[in-house]
Amino acid sequence: MQTTITKKINLLSPGSTNAKTKKNSIETFIMYLAPANTVTGVNLCPFASDECKEVCLYTAGHGAFNSVQLARINKTKFWRDERKNFYIQLANELLKIHDKAIKYNKNIAIRLNGTSDVDHIGLLQRYTGINFLDEFYNDLIFYDYTKNINQIKKYKNTRYNLTFSRSECNETEVNQALNLGTNIAVVFKNTLPETWQGRPVINGDLSDLRFLDPKGLIIGLIAKGKARKSNSNFVIQN
């Protein structure tokens, strides 16, 4: 694997930099890019609905600050313009984290899609030849949210734990994901109900470690950022 590339800004950030991942009981690293079509020439959230884009978490927490958004835009331009180098650097960062996991004999959680919806696992293998889902890397626990039902199907029964995200227009895919045994993330306005569509709702804001959740659940998330004032169908108006 090629390792001599021009160093860019770190692609992975410690989970302590995020309001929710810092609550995780397992050390976590997360990658934030610019979502949807924020950057000219790319769409990192190809399955995002119009209302999803309108109330995107890109506007929540530290993401509301221009300096944070600029860093995410620069990473996305790196992904757009130097795709292979991007994944070489990402692989090198993951390998260092894996070394840390081995050294301290612990698991470390990795979320590659903090504000994007891309098959980074597949692209890492394509551009670097490394399959991070191989048992050798089982100290790294990969998880994400996605609106891409094909990702749910592709990674079913692998070490890549995916939660399907509901929008105002993907009911068919929600039902497919449920039939595949995948949990569904749903955004609610102010409070979480005990059940939704006949399934138990748990508070997904208490921790971001979705791979620890039992199956057959709705992962309830309270609206944040612009979504707090939204009356759209993306947010359940409970």
Mean pLDDT of 143-168: 97
Beta bridge partners of 201: 218
Instruction: Please state the rounded mean pLDDT for residues 157-183.
Output: 96
Residue type, 99: D
Q: Tens digits of per-residue pLDDT, 31-67?
A: 999 988 789 899 999 988 777 767 665 554 444 557 7
pLDDT value of residue 76: 95
- What span, in angstroms and rounded, lies between the C-alpha atoms of 88 and 98? 15
In DSSP terms, which residues pair with 161 in a beta bridge?
143
Residues 236 and 50: their CA atoms lie apart, in Å, by 16
DSSP for the chain?
A: --------S-SEEEGGGSTTGGG-SS-EEEE----TTSSTT--S-TT--HHHHHT-GGGSGGGGSHHHHHHHHHHHHHHHH-HHHHHHHHHHHHHHHHHHHHHTT--EEEES-SS----HHHHHHHHH---TTSGGGTTEEEEEEES-HHHHHHTTTSSEEEEEEP-TT-HHHHHHHHHTT--EEEEESSS--SEETTEEEEETTS---GGGSPSS-EEEEE--GGGGG--STTSB--
Residues β-bridged to residue 143: 161
Alpha-carbon distance of 157 to 99, in angstroms, equals: 25
Cα–Cα distance between 109 and 97 in angstroms, integer? 10
For residues 197-210, give the mean pLDDT: 94
Residue 236 corresponds to which tokens in the numbers above?
A: 């359940």
| pLDDT tens figures, 220-235 | 999 887 666 777 788 8
Q: Residue 20's pLDDT is what?
A: 67
Q: What is the mean pLDDT of residues 141-152?
A: 98
Tens of pLDDT, residues 60-118: 444 455 778 888 999 999 999 999 999 999 999 999 999 999 999 999 999 999 999 99
User: What residue ranges do the domains of the chain occupy?
Assistant: 12-229
The larger pLDDT score, comparing residue 24 to residue 160, is at 160
